[in-house]
Amino acid sequence: MIKNKKLCLFLLGFAAIIFVACEKLLPGAPAQNELLDGPVEGLTSEENSKFLAGDVAFNDAIFTVENGLGPYFVATSCGSCHAGDGKGHPFTTLTRFGQSDTTGNQFLNLGGPQLQNRAIPGYQPEQIPAGATSAKFTPPANTGLGFLAALTDAQILANADPNDLNGDGISGVPNYISAPFFFVPQSFHQPLNGKYIGRFGKKAAAIDLLHQTVNAYNQDMGITSEFAPAEPGVNGVPAYPLANPEVAVNTVLDVVFYLRTLKAPIQRDPTNENVLAGKQLFTDLKCASCHTSEWTTGPSDISALSYKTFYPYTDLLLHDMGAGLDDGYTEGIALTSEWRTPPLWGLGLAKNSQGGTYYLMHDGRATSIEDAILLHGGEALQSKILYEALSDTDKQNLIQFLESL
């Protein structure tokens, strides 16, 4: 019995140690500012549930042959391309084709605009039709989009300077897009000749997040919905309608809600001396003329998005980026050399969703922040030249600032 008492004490002691050590032995949460996913602060519990439903549909819903994938597609879930809501990888970089003038894509009947470069077994993927031009698009991060979506057209137009009246060499124009049938204009939209300002996508070709999401289901995964009831066309076969949508309206709306309520990236180390020096250089080099740092939303149906100041570093406008970035492909009224200024928030965390390497600019051709800056041309040429003239320390400070975003 004595021996058993010792044994009991040993076992109880062991259990106690485990219990106490528990906390230490369980992996804690990474700091909030190290993560891109997660909801904006201040959602109601009802909004949290909707966010979670969208989260599941975005990250966990995998499309397979059984539930509608393809037959032609690029990837099998939203989360495959936007891992952790961050930027994507060349593996999920997609190709769009069309032509170089802005008369509207003439290849829609030949499977355009998007190349479905993968196919389910037994099918051959799409090929770019003869005569089409094309561009590659690396998936961007999806963070903080609700704030950008909550801005008014008037706010965006305030920065546009199509004729460069202020003479800074930077114009900035909105893209105007023909709205799809399901688009519901808000009070803040200001159409021009029946077209609406595009905000999302590399060439700002999507007017709102529903527009972007519907196209993503349809063009990226071959998933039809009531909003886009046709399977994308391929290889000269035009799109054809399906009787039953492959994703429910509710699911699409949950995903849109999820995108609207994903938090904005939180800057790391904002008071670091080098970061502050870099921030000053960012203004001095006129980077901020396109990468507009600060915005404030007006009223929103989601109170967590109402009257909020946020720091995306984009003006949501198109800029001519010069011949180097001219892929000969257009969307809406964007010229082939024009790209929408991408938000720079979350830039320092990009590697954590891109497999450890940066893939920056619209097609991921820049594998470092410096490469990205050196690819700036056109309206941004002056900024690039100013950057090249910086001392090594100043260059490092600027990059450290960008990495802190």
Partner 1 sequence: MDAVYNRPFLQAGKMPVSLGGYLETNSSYFQTDGVTDGLSFQIPRLTVFMASTIKDRIHFLTEIEFEEGGREIAIEFASMDLAIHPLLNLRGGVVMNPIGAFNQNHDGPKWEFVSRPIASTTIIPATWSNVGFGIYGKYGFGNFVWAYEGYITNGFDDQIISNDQNKTWLPASKLNPDRFEESFNGVPLITAKTAFRHRKAGELGVSWMGGVYNKFEIDGLPIDARRRIDLFAVDFNSVIPRVKTQIKGEWVWAFIDVPDTYTQQYGEKQQGGYVDVVQPILTRKMFGWEKCTLNLAFRFEYVDYNVGTFNETGGTISDHIYAFVPGISFRPSAQTVIRANYQYQLQTDLLGNPPARTAGFQFGFATYF
* Interface residues toward ligand HEC, by CB under 6 A: 58, 74-75, 78, 80-82, 88, 92, 94, 137, 139-140, 142, 145, 170, 200-202, 205, 209, 212-213, 216-217, 220-221, 255, 259, 285-287, 289-291, 319, 321, 325, 339, 341-342, 344, 347, 360-362, 369, 372-373, 376, 379-380, 383, 387, 402
Site for partner 1 contains 119 (CB under 8 A):
yes
**From 9, 12, 13, 14, residue interacting with partner 1 (rule: CB under 8 A):** 14
Residue 189 to residue 155: CA distance in whole angstroms: 11
**What does DSSP say about strands 309-310 and 175-178: parallel, antiparallel, or unpaired?**
unpaired
Q: What is the CA radius of gyration of the chain?
A: 24
Site for partner 1 contains 270 (CB under 8 A):
no
Q: Smaller CB distance to partner 1: residue 64 or 106?
A: 64
Q: Which helix (H) or strand (E) holds 136?
A: strand 133-137
CB of 133 to partner 1, least distance (A): 21
Residue 330 to residue 353: CA distance in whole angstroms: 28
Q: Which helix (H) or strand (E) holds 318?
A: strand 318-320
Query: CA nearest 317: which of 80, 135, 158, 192?
Result: 158
Scanning 80-88, 99-107, 145-153, 291-299 for contacts with partner 1 by CB under 8 A, the matching segment is 80-88
Scanning 83-91, 298-306, 340-348, 377-385 for contacts with partner 1 by CB under 8 A, the matching segment is 83-91
- Using left for φ > 0, alpha for ψ between -120 and 50, and beta otherwise, residue 332 falls in left
Span 343-362, contacts to partner 1 by CB under 8 A: 352-357
Site for partner 1 contains 266 (CB under 8 A):
no
Scanning 60-68, 167-175, 372-380, 383-391 for contacts with partner 1 by CB under 8 A, the matching segment is 60-68
For residues 268 and 348, is the Cβ–Cβ distance under 8 A?
Answer: yes
Contacted by 354, from ligand HEC, partner 1, none: CB < 5 to 8 Å by type = partner 1
Q: Smaller CB distance to ligand HEC: residue 140 or 233?
A: 140
Torsion of CA 347, 349, 350, 356, to 10 degrees: 140
Q: Beta strands of 36-114 (E only): which ranges?
A: 72-73, 94-98
Question: What is the amino acid identity at position 294?
Answer: E
**From 50, 82, 89, 395, residue interacting with partner 1 (rule: CB under 8 A):** 89
**From 40, 57, 75, 325, residue interacting with partner 1 (rule: CB under 8 A):** 75
Q: Smaller CB distance to partner 1: residue 36 or 287?
A: 36
Site for partner 1 contains 219 (CB under 8 A):
no
Residue 96 to residue 395: CA distance in whole angstroms: 35
Q: Which residues contact 207 (CB under 8 A, 6 or more apart)?
A: 177, 179, 183, 189, 196, 197, 198, 199, 200
Contacted by 389, from ligand HEC, partner 1, none: CB < 5 to 8 Å by type = none
**From 48, 49, 124, 368, residue interacting with partner 1 (rule: CB under 8 A):** 124
**From 36, 39, 55, 93, residue interacting with partner 1 (rule: CB under 8 A):** 93
Residue 15 to residue 35: CA distance in whole angstroms: 34
Q: Which residues contact 282 (CB under 8 A, 6 or more apart)?
A: 288, 291, 293, 398, 401, 402
What are the C-alpha distances in Å from 270 to residues 30, 112, 355, 358? 18, 44, 25, 22
Residue 94 to residue 118: CA distance in whole angstroms: 10
**What does DSSP say about strands 118-119 and 133-137: parallel, antiparallel, or unpaired?**
unpaired
Site for partner 1 contains 69 (CB under 8 A):
yes
Question: Total number of residues binding partner 1 (CB under 8 A)?
Answer: 43
**From 91, 101, 323, 385, residue interacting with partner 1 (rule: CB under 8 A):** 91
Contacted by 167, from ligand HEC, partner 1, none: CB < 5 to 8 Å by type = none
CB of 351 to partner 1, least distance (A): 8
Residues at the interface with partner 1 (CB under 8 A): 3-4, 7, 14, 18, 22, 25-30, 60, 62, 64-66, 69, 73, 75-77, 80, 83-84, 89-91, 93, 118-125, 352-357
